[in-house]
Every structure is written in C-alpha cells, then in structure tokens.
Amino acid sequence: MRIGLLTSGGDCPGLNAVIRSSVLHGIKSYGDEFVGFKGGWRGVIEGDYIDLPRQSVRGLSREGGTILGTSRTHPYNHPHGGPENIAKQLKRHDIDAVIAIGGEGTLAGAKRLADDGIPVVGVPKTIDNDLKATDYTFGFDTAISIATDAMDRLRTTGESHHRCMVAEVMGRHVGWIALHSGMAAGAHAILIPEHRISMDQVCEWVEQVHSRGRSPLVVVAEGFIPEDAEEALAGKGEESDGRPRLGGIGEWVTHQIEAKTGIESRHTTLGHIQRGGNPTGYDRVLATRFGIRALDLVHEQAWGHMAALRGTEIVKVDLTEALDGLKSVPAERYDEAQILFGR
C-alpha cells in the first residue's frame, strides 16, 4: 500500500516516533510505501507532501517536534477541503490510506472523513492526557518530567529566599499535568480546574507551610479558576469553544497570595517548554507502539478507528470513543494527592 502520514494540531514529543515506527513496520512487514503530508490536513488538501523512505526516519524516535510540520487546518473548513476534494487528492497521488496523528480536533475530523468514505485511521496525541479512549497519550510523560524538574528548581531558589513559588503548567481544561507533576515534585498545593477551591483556602495552606519554616510550592493548571474569582477573572475573554481564555492564572494567583498573606511570592509560567525537546523513554515507547498498531489498523481496513492504550495493551478503538468528552481528573485522584501535601 502507499500510505500518507500527517501530524495535526499542537505538536507534542513523540510524534516523530510514531512516524518512524509506522514507516519501519510498513516497509518491513508489508512492503508499503510512505509519504508525509506537510502541515497536517493542509498538506493533504494541497497535495503537499514528502516521500518517507526508510532512511528518512533513521534515529527519529528521540527527536521532539514533528518532521512533517503541523497546523490546525480542519479538513472540512478549508475552502478546498471536504471528502470529495480529499478523495481526489489521494487518488491523484496514488495514496491508499491516511494515518492522522492528532488530538481531539484532528481525530474528530478523521472520524468525519472516515464516515464520508475516506480511508483514514487515527493516532491520539496530546500532552494534556485528556482523551477518554486511551489511558495515556504520549507527550504527557515528557511534560510531567519537564514540569517536575522545573518545580524541583523552583523549590531550591524558593527555599533560599523563603518565598512562595507558584508554577503554572499547561493542560488546557484539565489538571492532569498539574496533578502528576505536583505529586512528583511534592507541591504543597495543586490547583486544577476539576477541583475548584477558594483563594482564601489556598492562602491558608500557604501560610501553614510558611509558618513551619518551609517555602510553599504551588502548582496551578492553566485552566484553574478559583471559586471566588469569577468576577476578578472576567474580561480575560473566551477560547473558540466558549470556555474562559487560558493562561495567566499563575501570575494572578501569585499576586493574590502575596497580597493576602504578605509572603513574598514569585510565579513561573512553564508554557511551551513543556511541549518542546526530546520525548522521555516512556513516550518514545508508547508512540512507537501506537505507530505500529495504527499501521496494522490500515491493513485491517479499520477506517475510523485509532490505536489506544488500555492498561499495558495497545488496542483498537472507534474514534467516536475518543470524542466522547474530556477525560478529567477524578475526585479520588485529587484526594490521593491531598494525603501527601506536607502542610
């Protein structure tokens, strides 16, 4: 078969490992040929691609980013998009199937295209780990590792100055990165969108830690909104999906802590550092296994399905499952983290 790969949506460490394993598995096991569409669905729509021979994927699993580039082009919203145009492009370039590697938006587009007759399978990716159909996504472990390292560093400088240190991490509308990195770094407070608490409560915790001679370390997920802060945070605007605009909450929380407790405080927003650089070993392995399974799905003609992790197994799931709302942090996972807070 001649198979096209694309990476779409925000980049994520591990994308290149998926590309490498699909290509190697396809060439070795099935005699397939590969092309890589440049810039996500845009490359499909415009017939913009590169050949992916075996040597093009050499050493790729350790590299961050994506060699194909990525974009947020939606296959149905582009003036030359839609299933008929895409089918024509695939035919013109002799491409038998597409492997689309992406998050919720990409997988939704892939599902719709599959329903409209395009031979496409998916691979889930997001550092946010918010896809319901898979236990973990690659990129998440790398983000945790970077955020944990950053907090370890914040702790030493915080302790030297006896300051409260606040780290804002990504995660979009869920708190997985904050929960895991906060647990790993031994943060004194983990603030996530799924568990709203008041700033008074946060300040009380910070004061308790400070009064014991420690330097409070707080991790706040970018989607967190304190219980009592809706009005103060109003006017930040909205995302395209209608939810409050993300980012900046770490700075706001820090100012509140300093103003209400008098404890000198500093904030750090980790931002895209969490998505950059080389994937961890865990993410390389997970991404590699996803790529292998996705290639098998192509040969099973399992259009509209994707590879997913359940326990330790890589399984086939219908893309509709991936689109069934966000996987948020359950209350019991938050409670578990609370047990450890050294306050």
Q: In terms of CB distance, is 222 or 296 closer to ligand F6P?
A: 222
- Token digits for 115? 């329903």
Tell me if 33 contacts ligand F6P by CB under 6 A.
no
Q: How far is residue 327 from each of residues 47, 128, 137, 169, 251, measured CA to CA in Å? A: 35, 10, 12, 17, 26
Give CA–CA dist 76/339, Å, rounded.
Answer: 47
The Cα 328–Cα 332 span in angstroms is 12
Site for ligand F6P in 192-231 (CB under 6 A): 222
> Taking CB positions, which residue lies at the least distance from ligand F6P?
170
At 213, give phi and psi (nearest 5°). Answer: 85, 10
Selected binder of ligand F6P within 4, 5, 10, 17 (CB under 6 A): 10
Please tell me whether residue 322 binds ligand F6P under the rule CB under 6 A.
no
Q: Does 128 bind ligand F6P (CB under 6 A)?
A: yes
Contacts of 154 (CB under 8 A, 6+ apart): 165, 167, 217, 268
Minimum CB distance to ligand F6P, residue 200 (Å): 27
The answer to whether residue 70 forms part of the interface with ligand F6P (CB under 6 A) is no
* Angle between helical axes of 249-261 and 199-211 (0-180°, round to 10): 60
137: annotated binding-site residue? no
Residue 259: partners with Cβ closer than 8 Å, 6 or more residues away: none
Is 50 annotated as ligand-binding? no
Question: 94 catalytic, yes or no?
Answer: no
Which member of 17, 35, 90, 127 binds ligand F6P (CB under 6 A)?
127
Q: Which residues are catalytic?
A: 128
Binding residues for Mg(2+): 104
Binding-site entries for ATP:
10, 72-73, 103-106
Question: Which residues contribute to the site for ligand F6P (CB under 6 A)?
Answer: 10, 126-128, 170-172, 222, 246, 275
